Amino acid sequence: MIRFETLHERLLAVHGPQSWWPAESAFEIMVGALLVQRTTWHGASTAVQMLRRAELIDPVRLAQIPGSALEPYVRSAGFYRIKAVRLRKMARFVVDEGGMEALQARSTASLRPALLQLDGVGPETADAILLYAFDRPVVVVDAYLRRLSRRLLGSPSPPADSDLRSWIAVALPDVPSLNEFHALVVAHGKSDCVKQPRCARCRVRDLCQTGSDAL
């Protein structure tokens, strides 16, 4: 198993700085995290801009209007009916908890369970919100990272999420590193080289222990 510091450096060299999360506010990141689920950033970003133009990137305003009235704005993100409802619920949560400032003041230990209780917010989305909206040193474990780790280990099944979390937390403990690392993992997971049987130019490929498969 290579060190995660090394993996981070290699991914950075291949894909370049990712500069996540593109947003104008912490609440917009929460909105984007919900909208981007199981879809492309393009579709989610379009929806975010629609909401922006309507000045709906605001917990109070978003909590007021019914979910059905929200659907036209988030249509481009797919799953627009449930996402509209979940978005309104999330906005209501923020309002009920006293706003984004009040949430920012809370500890990660109390914030994470609260986020996980939200409809449509699972482990990955909760951790992405904690890292990108609230600047907490959290490891985001997604399908790309599991696949990457499995190939690096050369094992048929990926390591447990808890193991991944602890390994990475030790190697990349600070918020900027964790921020960039998750973005790089996604960028690499999406890149063409992982989808083709043979990759001619991917310089990350030699990190694979078995050498039989691209990362």
Partner DNA sequence: CACCAGGGTGGTT
Partner DNA sequence: AACCACCATGGT
For residue 195, give the 3-state DSSP assignment.
coil
φ/ψ of residue 50, rounded to 5: -60, -45
> Binding string, 148-177, against DNA, x = CB under 7 A?
------------------------------
**Residue 183, both tokens:** 């973005």
Nearest distance in Å: CB 156, DNA: 12
Place of tokens 């209007």: 65
For position 21 contacting DNA by CB under 7 A, the verdict is yes
- How far apart (Å, rounded) are the C-alpha atoms in residues 209 and 142? 21
Among residues 37, 38, 40, 56, which one has the least CA distance to residue 48?
56
- Within the chain, what is the greatest distance between any pair of CA atoms? 54
Packing angle between helix 143-153 and helix 161-171, nearest 10 degrees?
A: 80
For position 213 contacting DNA by CB under 7 A, the verdict is no
For position 16 contacting DNA by CB under 7 A, the verdict is no
For position 79 contacting DNA by CB under 7 A, the verdict is yes
Residues in the chain: 215
For position 81 contacting DNA by CB under 7 A, the verdict is yes
Residue of 3, 53, 190, 203 that binds DNA (CB under 7 A)? 190
Nearest distance in Å: CB 142, DNA: 6
Nearest distance in Å: CB 197, DNA: 14
> Binding string, 28-67, against DNA, x = CB under 7 A?
----xx--xxxxxxxx------------------------
Q: Considering only 7-15, 94-102, 120-128, 206-214, which stretch makes contact with DNA by CB under 7 A?
A: 120-128
Nearest distance in Å: CB 77, DNA: 7
End-to-end CA distance of the chain, in Å?
13
Among residues 203, 159, 139, 197, which one has the least CA distance to residue 1?
159
Enumerate binding residues for DNA (CB under 7 A). Answer: 20-22, 32-33, 36-43, 75-76, 78-83, 118-126, 128, 132, 142-143, 183, 186, 190
